[in-house]
Structure 1
Amino acid sequence: MWKDTDVLLVIDVQNDFCPGGRLAVPGGNEVVPLINRLAKSFRHVVLTQDWHPAEHKSFASRHPGKSAFETTMMPYGPQTLWPDHCIQDTPGAALHADLHIPHAELILRKGFREEIDSYSAFFENDHKTPTGLGGYLRERGFEKVVCVGLAFDFCVRFSAEDARMLGFDTEVIEAACRAIDLQGSADQARKSFADRGIVLA
């Protein structure tokens, strides 16, 4: 079914995004068995890992008087403030222990710049600063990006939108994602995919 020019992009399946984590996505751990099975049918897999310094500016704790899930303005635009999560070299930042994709060819860390958040696997939240993933996939001759992981309405959504914008055929397998769903953000993601020609499977 999947071609050698297809790549599975497994986004942020990390302890802090699973039940018991600092920014738990409801049912986040439920995607792990499905992603493991799905990955076996892909020759090429890339993993991403949210990887924040402890003083990251997207953390609500860095903004006196603000609470998690409020929005603030950053130099690059609106930014949702999050609980401290996925701090570099902590158990919460580790990939889920049951995620088993030994043939994954690349682990891309994102969100490591203190001043700017990074939902997408392709660009920081200024939509200008590249992670290098687009160039990596192009140089290797990939044509289609299939997105799964956490969270459907944030890092999966932004990664899929950017993959499409960069010219890749793009598909999101919703059963292998879970959403945070802040103020209808899951439905907003679905609408965005339809508008952009991103296949929602």
Structure 2
Amino acid sequence: MINTSFEKIVNVAKIGTYEKVDLNEVVSLALNEDIKPSHEDQQKVLYLGIDIQNDFMEEGALGVPGAHKDVERTTKFLYNNLDKITNIAVSLDTHELNQIFHPSWWVDSEGKHPEPLTIITSEDLKDEKWIPVKEKKASIDYVRKLEEKGQKNLCIWPYHCIMGTPGAALESQFSRMVHFHSIARQTKVTKVVKGQDPLSEMYGIIKPEYSRENQTNEDLLKYVRQFDKVIIAGEAESHCVYESVRQIVEHFSDDIKWLKNIYVLSDGMSCIPGFEEENEKAWKALIDHYGIQLVESTDINL
């Protein structure tokens, strides 16, 4: 039984508003709880929140339609399962202005930068439709390698989640909930920073789309595998959530029994517009090959 009401922790009307998070208040509320500490859990359950940050909220720099409702449903799920979720881990997409997927990296023959959502292909580079401003050889190699490996083509995104800016911070109400859980269950919020390599996009939390050096986060893989069940949600469904799940299941592809205990909350994530068809096919393939479960937050029984 939780002493603190959901409404005292999460103000649904404030989701996506950059509200200042008063962690002193959150801690004070959580200290009033008398819930067993997470280390006593017989079943170890991880909630993994992917990029639930201000810039991916609906009014953010790279806003995802539906994100506010996703956060509302996710925080209610966390609240309703506070005594069953052992640990919470969150990823933080974190960039600088000059990275290969931002407009400043590329120009056309007239010196103009590409608009957001421009797709750049190796054919474009061959025709010099787009020219890298810096790291020319490495940039061309990156675009080619994406195509060779069957990864997503290079997409130019609006400047988003710039290190040290409010847009890169956890969404305020989600932040309140995960830190409330941390104190109430006497556990640490694991925070994973990703996306800082200027020469690679990093949708998934485990490794970049392509890089010349091995940047696989082996420690994170080991951490995730400690849990009996893993619950995943976040933004955006078609990119960072999907690629995170794909990287995890491909790494543990020889452990199908465990993979069946990965649950992705279908009502806790939303797709970037224009990628819906591709997104639906991609999820179906993961489910068919690896047995992960795509469920609504109200249907999962922990």
Q: Which runs of 5+ in 1 are unaligned?
A: none
Structure 2 gaps, min length 5: 1-40, 109-113, 122-138, 147-152, 183-187, 253-257, 296-302
1:68 aligns with 2:116: yes
Assess if the C-alpha contact under 8 Å between 1:15 and 1:94 holds in 2.
yes
CA contact (8 A) 1:5 1:143 kept: yes
CA drift at 1:3: 6.6
Matches within 5 A, 1:25-44: 25-40=64-79, 41=81, 42-44=85-87
Question: Take 1:135 and 1:56, find their aligned partners in 2: how far apart are those partners?
Answer: 29
Give 2:216's aligned amino acid: P
The residue type paired with residue 133 of structure 1 is L
CA RMSD of aligned residues (A): 2.1
CA distance in 1, matches of 2:86, 2:92: 20
Shift of 1:67: 2.4
Contact 1:160–1:198 (CA under 8 A) maintained in structure 2:
no
The letter of the residue matching 1:200 is: L
- CA distance in 1 between counterparts of 2:193 and 2:42 reads 26
- Do residues 53 (structure 1) and 96 (structure 2) align? yes
- % of aligned pairs identical? 25
Larger radius of gyration: 2
Aligned to 1:8: 47
Return the TM-score normalized by structure 2.
0.61
Q: Quote the offset at 1:84 in angstroms.
A: 0.8
Q: Which residue among 135, 142, 154 is the counterpart of 2:222?
A: 135
CA contact (8 A) 2:97 2:104 kept: no
Give structure 1 regions of 4+ aligned residues with deviation exceeding 3 angstroms.
Answer: none
Going from structure 1 to structure 2, the CA distance change for 1:115 and 1:193 (only over 3 Å counts) comes to same
User: Which structure features the higher share of strand residues?
Assistant: 1
How do 1:88-103 residues align onto structure 2 when only pairs under 5 Å count? 88-99=163-174, 100-102=177-179, 103=182
- Listed one character per residue, the Cα deviations across residues 148-178 of structure 1 (whole Å, up to 9, x for unaligned) are 0101111110111112112252221110111
Residues 24-83 of structure 1, C-alpha deviation per residue, up to 9 Å, x if partnerless?
A: 000212111221122242121101110011212111332114322122245141322111
Partner residue, 2:154? 79
Asked whether the 8 Å contact 1:54–1:88 carries over to 2, the reply is: no
| Structure 1 residues 81-160: aligned runs within 5 Å | 81-99=156-174, 100-102=177-179, 103=182, 105-126=189-210, 128-131=214-217, 132-138=219-225, 141-160=226-245
2:87, 2:189 within 8 Å by CA — same for their partners in 1?
yes
Contact 1:193-1:199 within 8 A present in 2 as well: no
Q: Distance in 2 between matches of 1:4 and 1:155?
A: 27
Amino acid at match of 1:173: L
Q: Distance in 2 between matches of 1:195 and 1:188?
A: 11
Change (3 A) 1:60 1:195: farther
| Equivalence for 1:171 | 263
Q: Against the structure 1 CA distance between its residues 3 and 149, is the aligned structure 2 distance closer, same or farther, given a 3 Å change threshold?
A: farther
Q: For the structure 1 residues 19 and 4, does the alpha-carbon distance in structure 2 shift closer, same or farther, using more than 3 Å as the test?
A: same
Greater helix share, structure number: 2
Residues 1:3 and 1:129: Cα distance change in structure 2 (over 3 Å): farther
Post-superposition CA distance 1:60-112 (Å, at most 9, x none): 33211432212224514132211111010101111111112112520101001
Instruction: Please state if 1:200 is matched with 2:294.
Output: yes
Secondary structure of the residue that 1:98 maps to in structure 2?
A: helix
Describe the shift of the 1:154–1:3 C-alpha distance in structure 2 as closer, same or farther (beyond 3 A). farther
- With 100-109 and 153-162 compared, the bigger mean Cα shift is at 100-109
